[in-house]
A = this chain, B = another copy of it.
């Protein structure tokens, strides 16, 4: 089944008994989405944490001129959600949609809270995940000030090796924070970037 990827990810950090695994899986639902389908709109409350078992999601926000700024890509094996809205259950600022047809595992906020109560070691699992994610956003926040567009492109390639060849330049530009025109110019001026 496609729960395996998620169970593996969990097994790296905590050990679940047979019963715990069964309880956990009872809290999970699956969802298939088509390319371009929205999973969350700005202003909505994010009621599900999503785990990608195939395909790829992205989260982004729009500025007042309609420019997209991509916060995260979530290929296979990644968690996705609007953390702010998930935590507070208030309307968030992110859009989440599918870049390709995708399969997801969902756990609702309600079930997540149950899980924390009934199997407290999930606090540990999600603490570790939050801490790792924190480190990577701390790093990215600094890099976004410090690095040039070319250097940010190189970091993108390291972070999402599986996506480098399957995303459009437009998506990559919206992630590294440049215009598609500039990214095109840059890739032609520096052909060695297209490894």
Q: How far is the CB of A109 from chain B (nearest CB, A)?
A: 13
Q: Are A71 and B141 in contact (CB under 8 A)?
A: yes
Nearest opposing residue in chain B for A144, CB measure: B144
Interfacial chain B residues near A84, Cβ < 8 Å:
135, 138-139
Residues of A109-158 at the interface with B, using a CB-CB cut-off of 8 Å, are 116, 120-121, 123-124, 126-127, 130-135, 137-142, 144-146
In-complex Cβ contact of A133 among B61, B132, B134, B139 (8 A): B134
Q: Are A83 and B134 in contact (CB under 8 A)?
A: yes
Interface size class of A (residues with CB under 8 A): 20 to 34
In-complex Cβ contact of A146 among B121, B130, B135, B177 (8 A): B177
In-complex Cβ contact of A71 among B116, B121, B138 (8 A): B138
Q: Residues of A at under 8 Å CB distance from B?
A: 61, 63, 67, 69, 71, 83-84, 87, 116, 120-121, 123-124, 126-127, 130-135, 137-142, 144-146, 177
- Bound form: Cα–Cα A146–B67 in Å: 9
- Bound form: Cα–Cα A44–B80 in Å: 33
Interfacial chain B residues near A131, Cβ < 8 Å:
83, 87, 130
Interfacial chain B residues near A130, Cβ < 8 Å:
127, 130-131, 134
Nearest opposing residue in chain B for A116, CB measure: B124
In-complex Cβ contact of A145 among B124, B126, B134, B177 (8 A): B177
- Bound form: Cα–Cα A24–B90 in Å: 33
Q: Are B69 and A138 in contact (CB under 8 A)?
A: no
- Bound form: Cα–Cα A105–B71 in Å: 34
- Bound form: Cα–Cα A140–B139 in Å: 11
Q: How far is the CB of A107 from chain B (nearest CB, A)?
A: 15
Interfacial chain B residues near A134, Cβ < 8 Å:
83, 130, 133-134, 137
Residues A138 and B83 in contact in the complex (CB < 8 Å), given A130-B130, A145-B144, A145-B177: yes
Residues A83 and B127 in contact in the complex (CB < 8 Å), given A69-B146, A146-B69, A177-B146: no
